[in-house]
Amino acid sequence: MTEQKRVVVIGGGIAGLTAAYRLQQNGAQDVNVQLVEASERLGGKIQTVRKDGFTIERGPDSFLARKESATRLANDVGLKDKLTPNGTGQSYILVNNKLHPMPSGSYMGIPTRIRPFLFSGLFSPLGKARAAMDLIKSTKSVDEDQSLGLFFRRRLGNQVVENLIEPLLSGIYAGSIDELSLEATFPHFYDLEQEHGSLIKGLRKTTTVSKRKKGEKKPSMFRTLQGGLESLVEAVESKLEPGTVLKGTKVDHIERKQDHYHIMLSDGSVMEADSIIMAVPHFAAQRMLSQYDFLEPFKETNATSVANVAMAFDESAIKKDIDGTGFVVSRNSDFRITACTWTHKKWPNSTPDGKVLLRCYVGKPTDQEVVDYSDEEIVEIALKDLNQTMNITEKPEFSIVTRWHDSMPQYKVGHKDRLNGIEEQLQRELPGVYLAGGSYRGIGLPDCIDQGEAAVAKVLNYLS
Ligand code: FAD
**What's 390's DSSP letter?**
S
Quote the pLDDT of residue 215: 62
Q: Which CATH class is domain 5-43+235-301+411-463?
A: alpha beta
The rounded percent of the chain whose pLDDT value lies above 90 is 82
Confirm whether 5-43+235-301+411-463 and 62-89+303-409 share one CATH topology.
no
Residue 189 CA, ligand 1 centroid: distance in Å: 26
Does residue 167 have a pLDDT over 80?
Answer: yes
Rounded Cα–Cα distance for residues 294 and 420 (Å): 11
Q: Which fold has domain 105-206?
A: protoporphyrinogen ix oxidase, domain 3 (1.10.3110)
Nearest 5°: the CA angle 207, 212, 216 is 145
Task: Name the band, by pLDDT with cuts 50, 70 and 90, for residue 108.
Answer: confident
- Judged by DSSP in three states, 47 sits in coil
**Residue 284 CA, closest ligand 1 atom number:** 15
Report the run of H or E that residue 26 belongs to, with start and end: helix 14-26
Q: Which pTM does this prediction carry?
A: 0.96
Rounded Cα–Cα distance for residues 312 and 358 (Å): 7
Break the chain into its structural domains and give their ranges.
Answer: 5-43+235-301+411-463, 62-89+303-409, 105-206
Euclidean distance between the first and final Cα of the chain, in Å? 6
Lowest mean pLDDT among 23-32, 36-45, 80-89, 413-422: 23-32
Task: Look at ligand 1, atom 31, and give the residue with the nearest C-alpha.
Answer: 60
Task: Look at ligand 1, atom 7, and give the residue with the nearest C-alpha.
Answer: 11
Does residue 1 have a pLDDT over 60?
Answer: no
Quote the pLDDT of residue 118: 87
Q: Is the C-beta atom of 251 inside 6 A of ligand 1? A: yes
**Residue 446 CA, closest ligand 1 atom number:** 25
Quote the pLDDT of residue 216: 66
Quote the pLDDT of residue 211: 58
Longest dimension (CA), the chain: 71
Which mutation among 36, 42, 45, 406 tests ligand 1's pocket best, with the greatest number of atoms within 8 A of CB?
45
Residue 15 CA, ligand 1 centroid: distance in Å: 8
Quote the pLDDT of residue 83: 97
The string of pLDDT tens digits covering residues 401-428 is: 999 999 999 999 999 999 999 999 999 9
The string of pLDDT tens digits covering residues 291-303 is: 999 999 999 899 9
Quote the pLDDT of residue 3: 79
| Upper half-sphere CA count for residue 206 (Cβ side, 13 Å) | 14
Q: Which fold has domain 62-89+303-409?
A: Polyamine Oxidase; Chain A, domain 2 (3.90.660)
The string of pLDDT tens digits covering residues 115-155 is: 888 889 999 999 999 999 999 988 888 889 999 999 999 99
Residue 317 CA, ligand 1 centroid: distance in Å: 34
Q: Is the C-beta atom of 279 inside 6 A of ligand 1? A: yes
**Cα separations (Å) of 341 from 48, 89, 322, 374, 440?**
16, 12, 12, 21, 27
Rounded Cα–Cα distance for residues 231 and 394 (Å): 32
Quote the pLDDT of residue 214: 62
Rounded Cα–Cα distance for residues 115 and 148 (Å): 26
Which mutation among 68, 84, 280 tests ligand 1's pocket best, with the greatest number of atoms within 8 A of CB?
280
Does residue 289 have a pLDDT over 90?
Answer: yes
Mean pLDDT of 313-338: 90
The rounded percent of the chain whose pLDDT value lies above 70 is 97
The string of pLDDT tens digits covering residues 185-214 is: 999 999 999 999 999 999 999 887 655 666
Residue 44 CA, ligand 1 centroid: distance in Å: 5
**Cα separations (Å) of 227 from 51, 71, 347, 371, 420?**
11, 16, 11, 27, 38
Quote the pLDDT of residue 2: 61
**Residue 451 CA, closest ligand 1 atom number:** 52
Rounded Cα–Cα distance for residues 288 and 151 (Å): 36
Does residue 49 have a pLDDT over 90?
Answer: yes
Lowest mean pLDDT among 17-21, 35-39, 101-105: 101-105
Q: Is the C-beta atom of 407 inside 6 A of ligand 1? A: yes
Rounded Cα–Cα distance for residues 5 and 1 (Å): 8
Rounded to the nearest integer, the mean pLDDT of the chain is: 93
Task: Name the band, by pLDDT with cuts 50, 70 and 90, for residue 110.
Answer: confident
| Upper half-sphere CA count for residue 373 (Cβ side, 13 Å) | 21
Lowest mean pLDDT among 263-272, 354-363, 384-393: 384-393
Q: Is the C-beta atom of 339 inside 6 A of ligand 1? A: no
Does residue 171 have a pLDDT over 90?
Answer: no
Q: Is the C-beta atom of 437 inside 6 A of ligand 1? A: yes
Quote the pLDDT of residue 135: 92
Nearest 5°: the CA angle 73, 75, 77 is 70
